[in-house]
Structure 1
Amino acid sequence: MFRYLCSSLSIFLHREHRKLIGARYFFKGFEAAVGTLSSDLRNPRDITGHGTHTLSTAGGSPVPGANVRGFGNGTAKGGSPRARVAAYKACWTLKNDDGCFDADILAAFDAAIHDGVDVLSVSLGGDQNSYFETGIGIGAFHAITKGISVVASAGNSGPKAGTLENVAPWLLTVGASTIDRQFPAFVIFGEHKLQGESLSNASLPRNKMLPLIRSRDAAAANASDEDANLCTMGSLDATKVKGKIVVCIRGKNPRIEKGEVVKLVGGKGMVLVNDLSSSDEIISDPNVLPATHISYSDGLKLFSYLDSTKSPEGFISYPYTMLGTKPAPSVASFSSRGPNTITPEILKPDIIGPGVNIIAAYTKAISPTGIEFEEQRLPFNIESGTSMSCPHIAGIVSLLKALHPEWSPSAIKSAIMTTASLLDNMAEPIKNSFMVNASPFSYGSGHVWPSRAMDPGLVYDLDTMDYLNFLCSLGYKSSQISTFKPYKCPSNLTSLMDLNYPSITVPNLTETVIVVRRLKNVGTLGTYVAHVQNPVGVIVTD
């Protein structure tokens, strides 16, 4: 089965006492469908940077002086810095075809299980089908039966609802949040000074305003307004752009590519403006020219100035590192949202963690900009995505596994979910990119709080039989369930809502329902009292 996915490598963690395995690769599925890989590509090396970035985030050793072009300088380390790590490469690129195949993904899972890993960090995703038709879900089920925790990305298709990936209940599904570090670069025009973000190491002449032009007004003769708005390759007229700062709209093509398009036709700088769906979330990029990325609301101010001024001029300041920004965290606009379209009774994502502007190690096989002919190579890069938040959680899972080796994967998941925070660093409810209160469909149980997860007191535990009965409750036939494990469904099936999950979801509530949960004490002896905060319009009793 061929599926386009969002990643290039799967990362798997080991506790320190285990044997270091290294790196392996799996390609037969890709070659059977797409074509033969050349001998120089058929190896476990990372040629996109994605695998190196996620691996070092999960288990990288401390490195002092880590930075990206001098920005964000400090000591970098992974979530579980003393873990032994192994990489299993299951995704490939050949000419215009790229992606991952279920055959290669399952081969990687089988190898990791055989090698005796403790935690799997899977920054992969794809279209969601029934559970027995999804390679990641099948592979993860077999891992869970061996006591291996599996952490997976929620996907990068937000903020639209129902866009989640990796929704199986045995997975720990991770959405992305912002962090409290920014790299401000201001765009100055008229009476305005608007804060954007950038990692560009190019600068404009000091104290000199340059002409500003909307990219749509610099469209090439054969380009559509949409392509010119988005600054796609070949959409801009060099005679209209030369010597100016160009204002482009986010969307469709990569953000850094837009800057390259402007630079190729003689532009001196770029202001990237969010589209409505991205709202006020802005991202730092290692742009190839002086640039800054501003929010949708600030973009409206800039467009108003451009539309009302005969000869608009502006300036882009050089970026710097700023710590302790507020509010943070918030849910990243790109982070995929619920509800769970496969099983609405299971809330996904389970948790959110840092996934915006994350500094981690990077390959020197390509430029940090991703532009093929760009010569710069860096040992660290900043990336954003649920691929980045996933290994943050995997690192925490690895630490909990070392601290509590007797805990099951479900117990570890429960500890992380039930101790999560619903507040930002201003003690206010976590917001989304529109700066309104986010919902559980975007953050699950909340933002991870690692230190609290060490001692949750009580956990909601599950085992293989619970998951098999869950599949039975979905109406799966024995032949379908045998994809996971040969099993005969019992006659007395329970409600899907009674799966002993650390969250409770009741879809289409129209009458009174009873939901059952079992709690297990993993802390000291004590007395626990249940407190219920009713959702608006719902009465809950215990």
Structure 2
Amino acid sequence: MEISGMLLLVITLFLSYFSLNIHCLSTHNDQNQITTYIIHMSKSQTPASFSDDHITWFDYSLKSVSNSAEMLYTYTNAIHGFSTRLTAEEARELETRPGIVAVLPETKYELHTTRTPMFLGLDVNSGLFPDSNSVSEIIVGVLDTGVWPESKSFDDAGLGPIPSSWKGICESGTNFSSVNCNRKLIGARYFSKGYEASLGQPIDVTKESKSPRDDEGHGTHTATTAAGSPVSGASLFGYAPGTAKGMASQARVAVYKVCWLGGCFSSDIMAALDSAISDNVNIISMSLGGGDTDYYRDIVAIGAFSAMEKGILVSCSAGNGGPGPYSLTNVAPWITTVGAGTLDRDFPVYVVLGNGLNFSGVSLYPGDSRFGDKLYPLVYAGNVSNATNGNLCMIGSLIPEKVTGKIVFCDRGGNSRVQKGVVVKEAGGVGMILANSPANGEELLADAHLLPASAVGARFGEEIKKYLLSIPNPTATFLFQGTKVGIEPSPVVAAFSSRGPNPLDPQILKPDIIAPGVNILAGWSGAMGPSDLTTDTRRVPFNIISGTSMSCPHVSGLAALVKAAHPDWSPAAIRSALMTTAYTTYKNGQSLEDISTEKPSTPFDHGSGHVNPILSLDPGLVYDLDINDYLNFLCAINYTPTQILTLSGKIFICDMTKNYAISDLNYPSFALPLLSNNNSTLLVKKYPRTLTNVDSKASTYIVSAKVQSASVEVSVEPQSLSFSQLNEKKSFTVTITAKTSEPVNTFVFGQLEWSDGDHIVKSPIAVSWT
């Protein structure tokens, strides 16, 4: 995996992957080492003497194991409890005290890291969208690296008063005050106690702002993608010119800074979720998160459960661990999990070789007059290096005497793509060709390099390498082409986008959906250069970056539009509308492509498909879920009462006489994992589902189901559903029959559709043998 070129940052926006995957760090070290713990208390077990003052009860419980420990935060919405610093022995002792539900060690999280409105159809059919007054009542909460309030994307011109539902604040701090908020950016908070506790000292305000201010750029980018105001004449160095605006450009933004130079810490994230719920946001967007641990140990899953219960949709990035399987994060069924696809826009630059052949690549370097007609010597980094991995252009690895005045061919891996260019530049090189590895395939992510450069796919990289290694004096030059739109096919699933099957619960198909996440233009911090390198002194109001970090806020903003049109819909209904109206084929009928294989993508890659905003506003039918459905799901995965209490805050005892099943969850997709063996006996699985009519007119829906293999059969009863009124519910059962056992890693995919002639309500089907 590539690492950041920003040596001071542990939170790394991988400009190759913009990795927002979570890396959980164990805090169970030396018994005397003091670390942070989140203490989950049982509200129902509050002693009568503390019934009016639970904070005192928290403090009493804490002092029973440590006279010196202090509470970092108290939590009342996302969970009932507090965070503190304890030794491992004190934590174990506290866990035995009455009323303690769980003692969770601090977890460190890291970030996952225009044409989009036009690509999604938001520039047409405006009459189909909710009016601006309705959208302006919706508040999108963004948990990230903070905000650059001076960005024009937070202009509040034309917006009315702040919604009366808003209960939050605009918090002052280093380089930030309450005057930085307005009717667009209505709230800003920062949460640093967990981070400072991990540092063992206060934040150094000469290096980062102890305030909501975004010193990194990622938070500003995600917030403006979700709900930025329209800004005409936006571009990055002239690339991707046009009007930049967020998906819900009239919605309000509330920012919660939880990520710092040293990472994003779970105690801070929990405090932010607690505040966002109290502040009455409608949508929570988090381009970070976990998923590689049980739900009751995952702070994001716990906080999202509380938000869901209060009617708040939580949208999270799927992670950038693709194209490998089981690489997903944020897979809880009450979270909307978003993967990444491409736009129909590219930034081509051609590599022209001395033999006359040329190969297309991409770059956000704005061109160089030295190139075009003049050819430069071309060298392979592995031949001009003093390091064993010299082909990777690592820091200090190139020999200046062999590089000066030449174009250097570098292979991907080991460090960030933009940092390789800096290495070449510092060694005296005039340009760089950066070739994908076979794992990266043909996916091209554009970067704002600090020297003339072109990133090329794995195949072209091999062709160029053959040329430069086959003759004594190879040469090359660049031809910069600017911005091109109308690229086909598009969208395609990004290679970095994390894939299923679901690593925690394979019967819940994830990701839920994909949205634009490659080469996305949005607002940026004035404190950081576009390459994310400390040596980059350039400052830009907009930047182009890639990752599921970028696809997540697209869905967050689109969910805000659906919420504005249907304010009474639950988070599950909104997600269902986005999922069942998504598309999986191009206009020519061909299946969406996976760029990592250049073959048709599957539901493990794209979930229900690529989001379709216009259709999502009128889905016809939705698969709805409430708190009881999710509690039954927890029983189905055999959670104990304590684990359910830790996750949900509810005392819920599973009925031992009831046969709970994951397949009973009213989810808008169907996944059947099977064990591969020699048993030829039929395996039959039933999926009861209920659809809610959200169309005002009476209609009858007819079902159809298709699968790709004769080894799997899908039947539905009944085959038609008639609705006569709004919000009427009808149930049906899907039966999936595996007729034969298949070899390991055999997959069969299909689709279930309900249609009344006006609406098509689609759900993916995935059967796998493992």
TM-score, normalised on structure 1? 0.96
Which of 371, 374, 391 aligns to 1:208? It is 374
Q: 1:373 Cα deviation (Å)?
A: 2.5
Equivalence map 1:449-528=2 (5 Å): 449-483=612-646, 484-486=648-650, 487-491=652-656, 492-508=658-674, 511-523=683-695, 524-528=697-701
Superposed CA deviations along residues 200-221 of structure 1, whole A, max 9, x for unmatched, are 024134411001111111112x
Check the 8 A contact 1:340/1:348 in 2, yes or no. yes
* Matched position secondary structure for 2:600: coil
What letter is aligned with 1:539?
E
- Structure-2 change in CA distance of 1:158 and 1:338 (3 Å): same
Aligned twin of 1:188: 352
- Structure-2 change in CA distance of 1:440 and 1:215 (3 Å): same
Aligned twin of 2:187: 22
Q: Which moved more, 1:118-127 or 1:464-473?
A: 118-127
- Structure-2 change in CA distance of 1:127 and 1:461 (3 Å): closer
Task: Report the Cα distance in structure 2 between the residues aligned to 1:28 and 1:124, rounded to whole angstroms.
Answer: 19
* Matched position secondary structure for 1:517: strand
Check the 8 A contact 1:420/1:446 in 2, yes or no. yes
Q: 1:371 Cα deviation (Å)?
A: 1.8
Check the 8 A contact 1:327/1:425 in 2, yes or no. no
Task: Report the Cα distance in structure 1 between the residues aligned to 2:372 and 2:558, rounded to whole angstroms.
Answer: 45
Check the 8 A contact 1:200/1:319 in 2, yes or no. no
RMSD of Structure 2 on Structure 1 (CA): 1.8
Q: 1:425 Cα deviation (Å)?
A: 5.3
Question: How many residue pairs get matched?
Answer: 534
Aligned twin of 1:301: 463
Task: Report the Cα distance in structure 1 between the residues aligned to 2:715 and 2:393, rounded to whole angstroms.
Answer: 56
Aligned twin of 1:115: 279
State yes or no: 1:82 paired with 2:253: no
Which of 336, 339, 347 aligns to 2:498? It is 336
Aligned twin of 1:67: 235
Q: 1:319 Cα deviation (Å)?
A: 3.5
Superposed CA deviations along residues 124-155 of structure 1, whole A, max 9, x for unmatched, are 12461000011110010000000000000000
Equivalence map 1:430-441=2 (5 Å): 430-433=592-595, 434-441=597-604
**Higher relative contact order (Cα pairs below 8 Å, separated by 6+ residues):** 1
- Structure-2 change in CA distance of 1:289 and 1:425 (3 Å): farther
Bigger radius of gyration, 1 or 2?
2
Aligned twin of 1:218: 384
- Structure-2 change in CA distance of 1:114 and 1:370 (3 Å): same
Q: 1:297 Cα deviation (Å)?
A: 1.1
State yes or no: 1:101 paired with 2:251: no
Task: Report the Cα distance in structure 2 between the residues aligned to 1:205 and 1:430, rounded to whole angstroms.
Answer: 37
Task: Report the Cα distance in structure 2 between the residues aligned to 1:51 and 1:145, rounded to whole angstroms.
Answer: 26
Q: 1:365 Cα deviation (Å)?
A: 0.2
Superposed CA deviations along residues 481-526 of structure 1, whole A, max 9, x for unmatched, are 1121221222314211121000000111761111111111111320
Which of 312, 318, 334 aligns to 1:154? It is 318
Task: Report the Cα distance in structure 2 between the residues aligned to 1:121 and 1:493, rounded to whole angstroms.
Answer: 35
State yes or no: 1:413 paired with 2:575: yes
Aligned twin of 2:755: none
Equivalence map 1:71-470=2 (5 Å): 71-93=239-261, 98-126=262-290, 128-189=292-353, 190-203=355-368, 204-220=370-386, 223-224=387-388, 226=389, 228-424=390-586, 426-433=588-595, 434-470=597-633
What letter is aligned with 2:613?
P
Task: Report the Cα distance in structure 1 between the residues aligned to 2:371 and 2:336, rounded to whole angstroms.
Answer: 49
Task: Report the Cα distance in structure 2 between the residues aligned to 1:427 and 1:178, rounded to whole angstroms.
Answer: 18
* Matched position secondary structure for 2:337: strand
Task: Report the Cα distance in structure 2 between the residues aligned to 1:482 and 1:39, rounded to whole angstroms.
Answer: 39
Aligned twin of 1:10: 143
Which of 507, 511, 535 aligns to 2:708? It is 535
Where do 5+ consecutive residues of structure 1 fail to align? Answer: none
Check the 8 A contact 1:469/1:493 in 2, yes or no. no
Task: Report the Cα distance in structure 2 between the residues aligned to 1:454 and 1:229, rounded to whole angstroms.
Answer: 51
Aligned twin of 1:34: 199
Check the 8 A contact 2:372/2:478 in 1, yes or no. no
Task: Report the Cα distance in structure 2 between the residues aligned to 1:456 and 1:246, rounded to whole angstroms.
Answer: 52
- Structure-2 change in CA distance of 1:65 and 1:426 (3 Å): farther
Task: Report the Cα distance in structure 1 between the residues aligned to 2:345 and 2:548, rounded to whole angstroms.
Answer: 18
Check the 8 A contact 1:156/1:386 in 2, yes or no. yes
- Structure-2 change in CA distance of 1:320 and 1:534 (3 Å): same
Determine which structure has the larger strand proportion and give its number: 2
Task: Report the Cα distance in structure 2 between the residues aligned to 1:120 and 1:260, rounded to whole angstroms.
Answer: 37
Q: 1:426 Cα deviation (Å)?
A: 4.8
